[in-house]
Amino acid sequence: MPLELINPADLPTPEMYTQVVVATGSKLVFISGQQPEDIDGKLVGQGDFAAQARLTFANLGRALRAAGARPEQVCKITVYVVDYDRDQHVPILEAAQISLLGDHKPANVIVGVAVMSPGYLIEVDAIAIIDESNAS
């Protein structure tokens, strides 16, 4: 596996991500921000953050597969949330992330933003690394 996940003893151990990820694979994959859109580019889940989060992570999974990457090869994700509220959004984000990544915990950051395109509440981008010598 081209990822070494490290939670240093002198930093808190987070539940949903890893403090440090060391990537040693041979092929980097950069996934553009995925949004809650159907195949026709139409917004799904107007006003429903949970529905938008689920679809956004599902779209991230589709983009990873297109690149030949698996969810456990993701080393970093960035989540952009309109009007971010930790208490309201984190449980929903955790469920959506687990639906794609299972117990894999890449480095991540959540960025609160004031506004995106009208009706859009979330966007997620990612970086993955593939060890081509061990690719399956």
Write out pLDDT tens, residues 29-81: 999 999 999 999 999 999 999 999 999 999 999 999 999 999 999 999 999 99
Q: Is the pLDDT of residue 103 over 70?
A: yes
Tell me which architecture the domain covering 3-134 has in CATH: 2-Layer Sandwich (3.30)
DSSP string, 16-44: SS-SEEEE--SEEEEEEEE-SB-TTS-B-
Q: How many contiguous H segments (helices) and E segments (strands) does the chain have?
A: 2, 6
How much is the average pLDDT of 91-100? Answer: 97
Q: Mean pLDDT for the chain?
A: 93
Residue 26: CB atoms within 10 A of its CB come to 12
Q: What is d(CA 72, CA 100) in angstroms, rounded to the nearest whole number?
A: 9
Q: Are 12 and 84 in contact (CB under 8 A)?
A: no
Q: Is the pLDDT of residue 90 over 70?
A: yes
Q: Is the pLDDT of residue 122 over 90?
A: yes
